[in-house]
Amino acid sequence: MKKIINNPESVVSEMIAGLTAAHPDLLTQLPETTVIVRKDAPVPNKVGLVSGGGSGHEPAHAGYIGDGMLDAAVCGEMFTSPTPDQVFEAIKAVDSGAGVFLIIKNYSGDVMNFDMAAELAEAEGIQVEKVIVNDDVAVEDSSFTTGRRGIAGTIFVHKIAGAKAADGGSLKEVKSVAEKVVANVRSMGMALTPCHVPSAKKPSFSLEENEMEIGIGIHGEPGIEKKPIASADEIATELTEKILDDLSWNEGEEAAVLINGMGGTPEMELYILNKKVNQLLTERGLHIHRTFVGNYMTSLEMSGCSITILKLDEELKALLEAEAESLAFNI
């Protein structure tokens, strides 16, 4: 697999250097870490928000640092959880005295290392709370998780918890609204091609030319079923119906939709998928409040997509619409 890199072992450090060089007015890297923080951190009297995980999911997670969203992102090595000491440095960097909130995707390494970092911070008198995102309806358990995986629904947690913190919400209030998002967001993905980790000599899984993988995660792990490639409408229907059936819906309820590319999918194809998703929700009597289409939580150069649907109430809708400014998400 051809890649534009120098050394496979330094892709993360070089990516961080290039990212912060491109946006010196917005982002800075903590010395001798893989932590990226907003330039004005810590923001006085505001709950600090920290997320992160393995690299290879860009623009996640550093792309969501900014007003109304994250205060810091911790970049692990490729598809590898950041270490507890790196997360601890991020917590200290964004703490203004109002506490720090951790947004963690449900992968065993992330959960363990963020928990250890929280214990270190609390030992130094920093209040820390967390939420674990588990929006993937494809699998209940995997080689990476106990319980459902956290995937692109995490973006809605970043946005809504970030809005609550920016509005002066307390640590308890930020945690409460983040938990509401987790309870009401569901996602599922698929792939036409695997991805290639720079240091690996083979793809993450294998697919024949006429095959697709249903239910993939974001770390190049295979899904739940290989099957012949289907049309965009058939793919959208399979993913959307599984997502909708996992929540209880009443006619007239509102939803936010995220059509997410996995890194190598043209926007044209994502919009074709969205056409069918829009139709399916409308046929169920649901109102689509807002739709987001693009690369939000990727898996290197994988060709594929995920669909995320968030059930909205008035509180979540207002926070979703609150002003936000980051590299990858603006309202």
DSSP string of 245-310, one letter each residue: TTS---TT-EEEEEEEE-BS--HHHHHHHHHHHHHHHHHTT-EEEEEEEE-SS--TTB-EEEEEEE
Of 57, 59, 60, 72, nearest to 26 by C-alpha is 72
Bridge partner residues of 176 (DSSP): none
Q: Looking at 23, 57, 196, 287, which residue is catalytic?
A: 57
Strand 66-67 versus strand 128-133 pairing type: unpaired
Please give the radius of gyration of the chain, using alpha carbons only, rounded to the nearest integer: 19
φ, ψ at 48 (rounded to 5°): -85, 140
Residues in the chain: 331
Concerning whether 57 is annotated as a catalytic residue, the answer is yes
Q: Looking at 61, 158, 196, 219, which residue is catalytic?
A: 219
Count CB atoms within 10 A of the CB of residue 330.
Answer: 12
**Which DSSP category does 70 fall into?**
B
Q: Which two tokens stand for residue 109?
A: 């390494």
Q: Active-site positions?
A: 57, 219
